[in-house]
Amino acid sequence: MSILIRGGTVVTAEQSFRSDVFCDNGMIVAVGDGLDAPTGAEVVDAGGQYVMPGGIDPHTHMELPFMGTVASEDFFSGTSAGAAGGNTMIIDFVIPAPQQSLIEAYHQWRGWAEKAATDYSFHVAVTWWGDQVKEEMGVLTREHGVNSFKHFMAYKGAIMVDDGVLLNSFARAQELGALCTVHAENGDAVFHLQKSLLEQGITGPEGHALSRPPQVEGEAAQRAIAIANVLGAPVYIVHVSTEQATQAIARARAAGHRVYGEVLPQHLVIDESVYRDPDWQTAAAYVMSPPFRPKHHQEALWAGLASGGLQTTATDHCCFCAPQKAAGRDNFTKIPNGTGGIEDRMSILWHNGVGTGRLTPNEFVRITSTNCAQIFNLYPRKGAVQVGADADLVVWDPAGTRTISAKTHHQNVDFNIYEGMEVTGVARHTISQGNLVWTDGDLRTVRGAGRYIDRPCHPPVFRAIDRYNELHKAVGVDREVSTAVTP
Amino acid sequence: MSILIRGGTVVTAEQSFRSDVFCDNGMIVAVGDGLDAPTGAEVVDAGGQYVMPGGIDPHTHMELPFMGTVASEDFFSGTSAGAAGGNTMIIDFVIPAPQQSLIEAYHQWRGWAEKAATDYSFHVAVTWWGDQVKEEMGVLTREHGVNSFKHFMAYKGAIMVDDGVLLNSFARAQELGALCTVHAENGDAVFHLQKSLLEQGITGPEGHALSRPPQVEGEAAQRAIAIANVLGAPVYIVHVSTEQATQAIARARAAGHRVYGEVLPQHLVIDESVYRDPDWQTAAAYVMSPPFRPKHHQEALWAGLASGGLQTTATDHCCFCAPQKAAGRDNFTKIPNGTGGIEDRMSILWHNGVGTGRLTPNEFVRITSTNCAQIFNLYPRKGAVQVGADADLVVWDPAGTRTISAKTHHQNVDFNIYEGMEVTGVARHTISQGNLVWTDGDLRTVRGAGRYIDRPCHPPVFRAIDRYNELHKAVGVDREVSTAVTP
Amino acid sequence: MSILIRGGTVVTAEQSFRSDVFCDNGMIVAVGDGLDAPTGAEVVDAGGQYVMPGGIDPHTHMELPFMGTVASEDFFSGTSAGAAGGNTMIIDFVIPAPQQSLIEAYHQWRGWAEKAATDYSFHVAVTWWGDQVKEEMGVLTREHGVNSFKHFMAYKGAIMVDDGVLLNSFARAQELGALCTVHAENGDAVFHLQKSLLEQGITGPEGHALSRPPQVEGEAAQRAIAIANVLGAPVYIVHVSTEQATQAIARARAAGHRVYGEVLPQHLVIDESVYRDPDWQTAAAYVMSPPFRPKHHQEALWAGLASGGLQTTATDHCCFCAPQKAAGRDNFTKIPNGTGGIEDRMSILWHNGVGTGRLTPNEFVRITSTNCAQIFNLYPRKGAVQVGADADLVVWDPAGTRTISAKTHHQNVDFNIYEGMEVTGVARHTISQGNLVWTDGDLRTVRGAGRYIDRPCHPPVFRAIDRYNELHKAVGVDREVSTAVTP
Amino acid sequence: MSILIRGGTVVTAEQSFRSDVFCDNGMIVAVGDGLDAPTGAEVVDAGGQYVMPGGIDPHTHMELPFMGTVASEDFFSGTSAGAAGGNTMIIDFVIPAPQQSLIEAYHQWRGWAEKAATDYSFHVAVTWWGDQVKEEMGVLTREHGVNSFKHFMAYKGAIMVDDGVLLNSFARAQELGALCTVHAENGDAVFHLQKSLLEQGITGPEGHALSRPPQVEGEAAQRAIAIANVLGAPVYIVHVSTEQATQAIARARAAGHRVYGEVLPQHLVIDESVYRDPDWQTAAAYVMSPPFRPKHHQEALWAGLASGGLQTTATDHCCFCAPQKAAGRDNFTKIPNGTGGIEDRMSILWHNGVGTGRLTPNEFVRITSTNCAQIFNLYPRKGAVQVGADADLVVWDPAGTRTISAKTHHQNVDFNIYEGMEVTGVARHTISQGNLVWTDGDLRTVRGAGRYIDRPCHPPVFRAIDRYNELHKAVGVDREVSTAVTP
Ligand SMILES: [Zn+2]
Ligand SMILES: [Zn+2]
Ligand SMILES: [Zn+2]
Ligand SMILES: [Zn+2]
Ligand SMILES: [Zn+2]
Ligand SMILES: [Zn+2]
Ligand SMILES: [Zn+2]
Ligand SMILES: [Zn+2]
């Protein structure tokens, strides 16, 4: 099947230009003015629209088993909702239980993901340490297209790892040319505060935010960066939500260290007041980690995205419905952590970013797609509008509007954290592997159409880092040890 | 004339890929594997080489009348030497005398530049203020392709402007969609220190550095940024040489302000000790402003380039020979300020940046060409390897070496500040407007072949800024002024 | 006359201890437990009270001729109101008109100040430059007990000085062992913004704040610090009101530079929303420079005071009544700048500082009295409770409350910016030169009882700075200037 | 016994003044001019000398059992050497083995310390956690005069504690009004790097520094501060040796957090190059943690002391002789960590601080004595020259010189890290409890003369903090939990 996108303005991370785009066999085969549509080709009118690389969401948790339940959104429904929002790929997480084989877990997740409608890939979490883990990290990179490993510095007693594990895993990943990512919250501090708040009788969702103050994230981000730094390794901080973590990243980058930060749109537009909603169910619906923050943190995050200090945007899409959230009715620590939003990320960012002059359309593409593709070594197969790239595109209507609501969204969850927001900037058409999967409000995704995408290790930045480390490695002093003195 | 570059690896700011590049009529007309050379096309073998956008030097001063003399390098010799170093374009400066018409000065410089061998453009300096200047800034942007204005915060008593001028000029430029740039040194402080040092009997070149300590630059950078910021205008700091200015830029960017910084390779590899050389002539040869710095500043600059906190590299190429420098034999304030290096910028940056693992090859392209093209709105005509772009290319030999020396360089100056340095990474072939102007050591530039390149105002980032400013403009309070009280 | 303060807790910057204090002949002659009152001595019962050094306000403008009018509070009424608030000394400002002799202006102000009820001293402003100024600075320090000079970086076209003047004056003061202080706002930027706002039709008091955004202060503070730094001179920033200036000071101090910052209580508790009051007269009453700020700046100022990053508190007491403010009815730039508060400084700081746990009582003494006395070389004559010190004391009732109001205050102005605030912590008795001038609500100040206090140059910190500068002075290179080359 | 110090200049943290000082019965009983010496009183001529509070060293490890050996300096020899250097008190550390009773360890150390020549006190380390520890912390504060607890974030596998312990201990201490202190190095990172260096074959003392890079300290300092901050607790970082930790402290203080930092003189004047000494024994002699650093860190530390960002100076006096150090001949991780210097702290700081203009004499007193006394709640019994204070004094000869050497020092160790340094500024006489224990080179300390000094909890700053925390405590939301939804 072939498709001609005609009359639009191609917008990439670098430039904008009037051009048609022709796709065939799932690939972009021509980018240029006045292209002819071969017989049988579908023609999409992109007049007045922007043709951009499809959004890539590098942080989702479809059908995640977590906190005693399973996320309501599965790989099909989730990638479909993503497509309705202009996304054409996700990177989800394989999260082995402590002591579980990483390979075994990897295959488990691969199995679940077979129903995905668009392309996908997996970060693999390192939730424990041992020779087996070290060995399996190698296997995953060599045989399974994994080039990134995730680490949880929170969730004590479950999947949290300590600094010893971080050091071992970061060092191993560096050896393999793979990137380490971290969920940066000091899990010991969270645990301590949770206990203390419950003892004070604070059991509601407001306790969630109170138990995870901004310093808890700032500290962990700083720590992960320092640990990576002593090993000469790059590091990627997921869901940066605070000024403190943003500054920690900025300080590291200003010192020449390769550190990346990811932002979620919800942290850019929602603040901590939601946890004090008088309605428990509403407040609980916003429970995710890191929590929403005092409003002034948002400025730091927007500035980070505009300046390049923060590079990517994701959703941490992880849906739990009201009956699931209700598990924590008497104890906020039992509310399953997670919010949805894969369908809304692009619109929220366009409306609040491009629409307010904080971002250019090119910067929008950079932070929703291109940077992610480059950091995770998918570029230019993904994240680009160029001949030879996958035909994963979104035709974006900069003037289109919609009102976000759980009543109309395609996500499999009964709440929308952006409920009632009217946004300008919508995905008019989404093209995945050269197929129209979302067009003018019609969702045409196909169960299982998505492919697992291998991500090779050692992207260019690793070659630079390896060179740098080689030139700065520790050197011993050649000396005779004094024999005059004995212990 | 057409030319096929065969077998190389195309390296852009975003990616590297094996590809041939075919140029015709001064443009890139095909980028792809296995291209055929039409009859008559010249074929360049790029096996083992990188095919990159030609270097753009956004800061040169060819044949500048300055401090009672004229820079020894003219537009032909300078752009030729640049071509030998892999450069295909410069942006030089029109510097009107105070009270001189900007238009008149512009035409003066256009006249001098007609001999240029490669493409060029001009920033225009605002060295005084008045209705005429305001009006002529408009004419320059509308009729003469100027989209950037330069301001000197130093050189008191000559071309220095005060904050009042900066405010007027920045506001006017913002209105026009043009970018303001500044030479950031506190000229009053320099003047005061010069006087004080001379009174102490310090007359040699070491006085040059002592009269321009790092704070003098840090202060001015911070001030220019603050002034731009209160006007909602972006600003570009030329030749950032200190940790302090780098941090001022980083702070502004982290606060969401659009600020850019340019670095000179000489500040990355040469330190202030040169001014204490026992040989006066040698010490004087290094006199430029801002001066070379204590070594630790270099780390901040490298990190700025790698992290994106600093965006461009230039040379401030401004050559004076020994007899010219000798004007300051008894008084360092009379030594003409300036050093050369257009021929060496790319090699110095490759060797010390890519060769040490501080930069990837893509980042090298970004800071030597692409960012400059984007910031000054030349992209993608310049700074890109893509169909439709100007055929301004360099075939870079990453393994080639050369030893830099005034004896062998093509620059019209009797001293080379990098004398004796052996660098790996050299321009094997340079292609300007589709012509081989430098090939395997053979310099074939043609006097007058360079074209003046118009740079339109209002690049994408200005559209974002305008939107932001519109949403944040000052709003008055509607009130009845109390009539009860009279003065 | 002698007086025994019995049964209180002496609180100094260093410690708190139960002790009586006996004063005779205007001096403290005994500090100890169980002191006996000689016959005729007045006895003050300080049970449950704190006996502290009287407040020193280092920044007032009594009867200042300014913006076409004269401040309504004179030296008698002002120092009396100060006494009612626990203050026993002020340092006011001699502000010569440009071109006026500093000595002449000094004598003018000395004449006006003869009516003062408590001790006082003068900073002298340098509002222009010339040999006469340089010479007179020397005379003032040698013959008139002046050890600090003030500089206005704002008020363009009136008393503003440029960087050249700052450099000359700072260098001269450094030579004399005197401290330079600055009003840090970029006057050019203010002027530009004022003009621009008026052109937009914004004429009300809100324009005052809009024309002086935080960056305008941050920039100037940073600049003054840099200028002082290149000269090896300390510097004192008056009325720091922003996060930016606080950070500039902190950065300088962290780099080893001797920089001081002063805070006004009004900036700690009032925010910029007052300028949008629908009542013009109310909004105008708050017009002072720097203006009130967005609320988050207050946190930085409080932290600065607690951490020692900011050292002193003052009032910038400068009163204009409604008919005077009305001069700017049609144009905010004509509203006389100034607010009062000398009577309320101590209570506002105690209530909002000690009462909230931001400050200890000792820190309260440090920032209201001791640091000021040390920085301006009045210590331990002032700022201490010890034998030999002046008997300038306040008996502070930590549990006393009062409601601030223009209806009840002793200040000669028709508005109180703290109107209606109820504060805990009040001056129960104030003792000046050993006399009760305020006791249980009875104001007993005597016109003309205040003395001019000489402040010698070269306090200890200057001796350290001089030593440091001596060791770090510029050193020339001894070399033969090459004769081979001639210009 | 009584003693009159005649003709000197009393120097305190606040002021300097000519005065005699008379001591009787171990206390200062008079401070004033022209005091008469009673019959039998010893008279010390202090002409041309400074009379200052005796130095307090808040960080020593006399006869510490550590790394398989015991520190060579015992409480008698150590406090005697301290007295020879102008010190009159130490605060040493009780370091329970994991699982050992804190009370039991406390008594052990009390026993060892009975031989001390001057006054002393103890911090108690929390090296493990449990109900017993929590309970015993209370007993120590209530019954044993302990108001500070120490935590090791390094020494993995020995006395290191994890964040969970820090949280529990900090919270408990806060409840008790006691101050927590930390040795800030990330022990996991050190352990990882040690292992990695040994694997690379780096076994010499240079490995010690390589395994503990600056980030390892910066990280831990930042973490300890963040943990304290989420609990609303103050925290004291011992032996700050890096720019990173200094900045972490400065950031916290600028945010209003009560954080203190201690500096060792050795980190101010010795750099990391010592570990590359070709003589193993020499290099090993410098092995202590944190290690010596690249030179530029010293500037940050000096500036911290001058600006008040860092408050105290200590020695971490912990002596091991060459045969002890030799335990690590084949493996740097086995070299006992520690260096001596209690005899030299004051001279090193005076010479390099006051002598270079970095510090005033008053600041010298503040950082060697007064701040320590205030932070650890010994003031004004210690750290002051005032009636009622302990007669712990040093008569300081600002012009006296000595050359430091192991050959002449009184420390019980065979190496002096300051060997050969000639310093100006020496203790001429040291008076402990009113007795001359060091006079003109004659050491007269008496074994067992020192007293254990109780330090009560809840100094003034804790009262402020408690108030602040009370006003900012977590508040729950009062709501009906929705009953509509069940899990
Ligand atoms: Zn997470
Ligand atoms: Zn997640
Ligand atoms: Zn310049
Ligand atoms: Zn230039
Ligand atoms: Zn002012
Ligand atoms: Zn004022
Ligand atoms: Zn330690
Ligand atoms: Zn220790």
3-state SS track over C59-82: EECCCCEECCEECCCCHHHHHHHH
User: Would the pLDDT of A485 be above 90?
Assistant: no
Tens-place pLDDT, residues D122-170: 999 999 999 999 999 999 999 999 999 999 999 999 999 999 999 999 9
Q: Tell me whether C192 touches chain B (CB under 8 Å).
A: yes
Tens-place pLDDT, residues B34-72: 999 899 999 999 999 999 999 999 999 999 999 899 999
| Mean pLDDT across B396-413 | 98
Which of C310, C208, C252 has its CA nearest to residue B222?
A: C252
pLDDT at site C482: 59
What single-letter DSSP state applies at residue B160? B
| pLDDT averaged over every residue in chain A | 97
**CA distance to partner chain A, nearest, from residue B465 (Å):** 6
| pLDDT averaged over every residue in chain C | 97
C360, D464: Cβ pair inside 8 Å? yes
| Mean pLDDT across C356-382 | 98
pLDDT at site D483: 58
Count Cα neighbours of B367 within 13 Å in the Cβ-side half-sphere.
Answer: 34
- Rounded to the nearest 10 degrees, how much is the dihedral formed by the CA atoms of C189, C192, C193, C197? 170
Instruction: Give me the phi and psi of B461, to 5 degrees please.
Output: -65, -30
Tens-place pLDDT, residues A97-107: 999 999 999 99
pLDDT at site B487: 63
Evaluate whether B55 touches B364 at the Cβ level (below 8 Å).
Answer: no
| Mean pLDDT across C310-338 | 97
- The interface predicted TM-score (ipTM) is 0.97
C474, B280: Cβ pair inside 8 Å? no
Tens-place pLDDT, residues A116-172: 999 999 999 999 999 999 999 999 999 999 999 999 999 999 999 999 999 999 999
Which positions 195-214 of D are in contact with A (Cβ < 8 Å)?
196-197, 200-207, 210, 213
- Residues in chain D within 8 Å Cβ distance of C258: 306
C202, B474: Cβ pair inside 8 Å? yes
Query: Which of A167, A278, A323 lies at the smallest CB-CB distance from D479?
Result: A278
**CA distance to partner chain D, nearest, from residue A317 (Å):** 21
Query: Which of C200, C226, C326 lies at the smallest CB-CB distance from B485?
Result: C326
pLDDT at site D411: 98
Count of CB atoms within 10 A of residue B160's CB? Answer: 21
**C184 Cα: distance to centroid of ligand 5 (angstroms):** 8
Low-confidence spans in chain D with pLDDT less than 50: none
| Mean pLDDT across C218-239 | 98
Nearest chain C residue to D387 by CA: give it.
C32
* Pairing relationship of beta strands B259-263 and B235-237 according to DSSP bridges: parallel
The alpha carbon of A259 is separated from its chain's Cα centroid by a whole number of angstroms, namely 15
3-class secondary structure per residue, chain A: CEEEEECCEEECCCCEEECEEEEECCEEEEEECCCCCCCCCEEEECCCCEEEECEEEEEECCCCEECCEECCCCHHHHHHHHHHCCEEEEEEEECCCCCCCHHHHHHHHHHHHCCCCCEEEEEEECCCCCHHHHHHHHHHHHHCCCCEEEEECCCCCCCECCHHHHHHHHHHHHHHCCEEEEECCCHHHHHHHHHHHHHCCCCCCHHHHHCCCHHHHHHHHHHHHHHHHHHCCCEEECCCCCHHHHHHHHHHHHCCCCEEEEECHHHHHCEHHHHHCCCHHHHHHCCCCCCCECCHHHHHHHHHHHHCCCCEECCCECCCCHHHHHHHCCCHHHCCCCECCCCCHHHHHHHHHHCCCCCCHHHHHHHHHHHHHHHCCCCCCCCCCCCCCECCEEEEEEEEEEECCCCCCCCCCCCCCCCCCEEEEEEEEEEECCEEEEECCEECCCCCCCCECCCCCCCHHHHHHHHHHHHCCCCCCCCCCCCCCCC
pLDDT at site C1: 77
What proportion of chain B, given as a percentage, has pLDDT over 90? 98
User: Would the pLDDT of C485 be above 80?
Assistant: no
A203, D476: Cβ pair inside 8 Å? yes
B487, C278: Cβ pair inside 8 Å? no
Tens-place pLDDT, residues A48-88: 999 999 999 999 999 999 989 999 999 999 999 999 999 99
Look at chain C and count its residues: 487
User: Would the pLDDT of C345 be above 70?
Assistant: yes
Count Cα neighbours of D323 within 13 Å in the Cβ-side half-sphere.
Answer: 5
Q: Which residues contact B407 (CB under 8 A, 6 or more apart)?
A: none
What type of residue sits at position C167?
L
In the three-class reduction of DSSP (H, G, I as helix; E, B as strand; rest coil), residue B406 is classed as coil
pLDDT at site D486: 66
B226, C216: Cβ pair inside 8 Å? yes
pLDDT at site A480: 77
* Pairing relationship of beta strands C235-237 and C259-263 according to DSSP bridges: parallel
pLDDT at site C119: 98
Q: Confidence band (pLDDT; 50, 70, 90) for C480?
A: confident
User: Would the pLDDT of C486 be above 70?
Assistant: no
What single-letter DSSP state applies at residue D280? H
Tokens of A120: 């996908």
Count of CB atoms within 10 A of residue D441's CB? Answer: 10
Q: Tell me whether D374 touches chain C (CB under 8 Å).
A: yes
What single-letter DSSP state applies at residue B271? B
CA angle (B314 as vertex; B313, B319 as ends), nearest 5: 155
**B90 Cα: distance to centroid of ligand 4 (angstroms):** 13
Report d(CA D391, CA D21) in Å as an integer: 9
**Which domains, ranges and CATH numbers included, belong to chain B?**
51-446+449-465 (3.20.20.140)
pLDDT at site A482: 59
Q: Which residues surround ligand 8, an ion (CB under 5 A)?
A: D 316
What proportion of chain B, given as a percentage, has pLDDT over 70? 99
Tens-place pLDDT, residues B2-44: 999 999 999 999 999 999 999 999 999 999 999 998 999 999 9
Q: Confidence band (pLDDT; 50, 70, 90) for B480?
A: confident
Instruction: Give me the phi and psi of A39, to 5 degrees please.
Output: -55, 135
Evaluate whether B298 touches B263 at the Cβ level (below 8 Å).
Answer: no
Q: Tell me whether B122 touches chain A (CB under 8 Å).
A: no
Q: How many CB pairs under 8 A join B and C?
A: 165
**CA distance to partner chain D, nearest, from residue A186 (Å):** 9
In the three-class reduction of DSSP (H, G, I as helix; E, B as strand; rest coil), residue C463 is classed as helix
Strand-pairing partners, residue C123, are: C93
Query: Which of A307, A465, A470 lies at the smallest CB-CB distance from B254?
Result: A307
**CA distance to partner chain B, nearest, from residue A244 (Å):** 12
DSSP B175-203: HHT-EEEEE---HHHHHHHHHHHHHTT--
Q: Confidence band (pLDDT; 50, 70, 90) for A339?
A: very high
Ligand that comes closest to the CA of residue C237: 5
Q: Confidence band (pLDDT; 50, 70, 90) for C347?
A: very high
Q: Which residues surround ligand 7, an ion (CB under 5 A)?
A: D 183
Which candidate in D251, D260, D298, D307 is best for mutational testing of the C interface (most C CBs within 10 A)?
D307
Query: Which of A166, A280, A484 lies at the smallest CB-CB distance from D481?
Result: A280
Report d(CA B331, CA B201) in Å as an integer: 10
Nearest chain B residue to A370 by CA: give it.
B14
> Which chains reach chain A with 3 or more Cβ–Cβ distances below 8 angstroms?
B, D
pLDDT at site D482: 59
Tokens of C131: 């040999």
